[in-house]
Each structure stands twice: as C-alpha cells, then as structure tokens.
Amino acid sequence: MSRLRLHTAESAPEASLPYLQKSQSANGYLPNLIASLANSPTALEAYLTVGEINGRSGLTLAERETVQITAAGIHGCSFCVAGHTAVALKKAQLEPQVVEAIRAQQPVSDPRLEAVAVFTRAVIASRGAVTDEALAAFRTAGFTDANALEVVLGVSLATLCNFANNLARNELNPQLAAYRWTPPVQAA
C-alpha cells in the first residue's frame, strides 16, 4: 500500500486534474506514480513537463529508455524499472535479452545502448563529474556533447520519479505486473 494518497480525478487537487486526465488518456489507466504525484500539482507538472522535454532530445527512444531503466535500477525503483521495461519492449521494440541486460546492469549487446548505460552509471556515480575517459568513450561511441547533457536530463527525470516512487512506496499497477523487477540484494 502506498504511503502517500493515490488520487483519482474525484479526489485530486484541482491543479492536478489536467495532468491526471492526460496521463489516463495516454496510458489507458492511471499509473500509481501519477496518482501519488497528484498530491503536489507542481511536482506532477514538473515530472510530465520534463518527460515531454526529454522526449524531444537527440537520443532515440531506445537510448532514453536505457537511461531510465539504468537509473531506476541504481535508485532501486521497482515501479520505474517495470514501467520503462514496458516502454522499451512495446514502443522502442528492444529485444527482451537487451532489456534484461539493462535491468541487471550487465553488458548490453548493442554497442550504442551499452555506451548509454555505461555513461548513465558514470553520471550517477560521479554526480555528473564524469572522468575525461568516460566522456571520451561516450563520444567515441558516436554521441555528441548535446547527447551527454541529454543523459543528464534523463537522469534528472529519473531521479524525480524514482525518488517519488521510493518515497510513496507505490504498488505496481496490474498493467505492469508482467514487467515486475526486484532490486538485487546488496551485500552487507
């Protein structure tokens, strides 16, 4: 059970209503992330606005989903890993074994997606202060400086939704059950 109230169109603050309706229409259901973010209309607006902006970046959908799954896995957000797994498989048409490697933080067979995953991990681990070598490797994989900043943008988006889900402890919507992910147990 979520620790934050999961709003509906009937219970949400008025300023959240347009965003709830937009999400419901886009997804065919109301994701619990959106329902919990509705507690703060500004947080909900920020999440959806940054998501739209991220969608216009120079990274492909597959590359953007690699950033999202990688970040969600690092941040331990089961909800976001599941949600972005669904997008990666259904909309980005990634092969299941590629998505599974990204989810497991393992090497990815696609060289560009591997470069994105490695660079995303470096951005998170260094809080953006990646080494010269990490940036050079990303560039060598065919990415631009704009793309490097777009990875940071994606990490920013992921951080907002990952941390909001972790705070709320949102349950997975039934529509995402097939994509369930459990964080690996960390060694003590």
pLDDT 10s digits, 56-89: 999 999 999 999 999 999 999 999 999 999 999 9
* High-pLDDT (> 90) share of the chain, %: 96
CA–CA separation, 178 and 161 (whole Å): 20
Q: What is the pLDDT of residues 124-167, one digit of tens each?
A: 999 999 999 999 999 999 999 999 999 999 999 999 999 999 99
Q: What percent of the chain has pLDDT over 70?
A: 98
- Mean pLDDT, residues 34-44: 97
Within 10 angstroms of residue 55's Cβ, the number of other Cβ atoms is 11
CB 24 within 8 A of CB 16: no
Q: What domains are defined for the chain?
A: 60-179 (1.20.1290.10)
pLDDT exceeds 60 at position 19? yes
Query: 79: which residues sit within 8 A by CB, 6+ positions away?
Result: 32, 33, 165, 170, 172, 176
Cβ neighbours around 47 below 10 Å, total = 20
H-helix or E-strand spanning residue 166 = helix 145-168
Task: Kindly write down the DSSP assignment for every residue of 55-96, as one continuous string.
Answer: HTSSS-HHHHHHHHHHHHHHHT-HHHHHHHHHHHHHTS---H
Where does residue 142 fall: left (phi above 0), alpha (psi -120 to 50 degrees), or beta otherwise? left
* Inter-residue contact 156 to 50 (CB < 8 Å): yes
Could you give the CA distance from residue 40 to residue 59 in angstroms, rounded to a whole number?
Answer: 29
